[in-house]
Amino acid sequence: MMFLVTSFFAVATPGPGVLMSLTGVIRYGFGTGFWTILGVASGTVVMAIISSTGLGIVIATSPELYDLIKTLGACYMGYLGIRLYRAKPFSFALANKEKAQPMSLAQKGFLWVQGVMLQMTNPMLIMFFISLFPQFIDAELPFLPQMIALSLTHFSLVTIVHCGYGLVATSFRGLLNSDTAARWVNRVSGTFFLALSAKVFWDMFLG
């Protein structure tokens, strides 16, 4: 229960993963946007596996490697921010049009990959799992089943919480009826990603 509560608050805290999930749902509708949510959730499992295999410890104890991953993550978030700034404004009508024209499996797969890549370029996830998992691992029990259970639990929480965010977002699609409102959604989202990117570089080189 303590693991569930701790993970829930970590997952429910707005961050780049939540923002990407919301953006996918708003732009493409819940059905297609769910692939973005699934990618974000899958990315957390990948990072959990990396952490549990010991690579996370290496990254955490190697300043050079940690800084490299942190820099790549900051660059990717900055790239997402710039893409949102340059994206054409989408309105309620456009969202309906996108929803009415189903994406191919390959296109949905690309949304999934984007979600996975976002999480894999977030070094803070490794630090989170390294600090969280040991608190709930019983050294007297087999390690692998425990890690699988914790990872799948976290995956489920990410999926459920982000779906909840997505369902709430779809209730306010009418707010995107004008190009101006839609443009501001892109700008606010882009600013958030750029701010995260800038904070990482600030902490690394100027902090």
Position 4 in a domain: no
CA–CA distance, 26 with 184 (Å, rounded to integer): 13
Position 184 in a domain: yes
Position 149 in a domain: yes
User: Radius of gyration (Cα) for the chain, nearest Å?
Assistant: 18
Position 81 in a domain: yes
CA dihedral sign, ordered 10, 15, 20, 22: positive
pLDDT in tens, 71-85: 777 787 788 788 878
Position 15 in a domain: no
Its domain, for residue 119, covers: 20-206
Q: Are 10 and 133 in contact (CB under 8 A)?
A: no
Position 7 in a domain: no
Whole-structure pTM value = 0.68
Position 131 in a domain: yes
What DSSP state is assigned to residue 89?
A: P
Domain count, the chain: 1
**pLDDT confidence of residue 40:** 94
DSSP H helices, the chain, are 2-12, 16-52, 55-61, 63-86, 92-100, 105-120, 123-132, 143-170, 179-201
CA–CA distance, 112 with 185 (Å, rounded to integer): 22
Q: Which two tokens stand for residue 181?
A: 């409102």
pLDDT in tens, 7-38: 887 787 767 788 888 888 888 888 888 999 99
Which whole-number Å values give the CA distances from 129 to 94, 124, 198, in the listed order? 39, 9, 24
Number of C-beta neighbours around residue 38 at 10 A: 22
Position 35 in a domain: yes
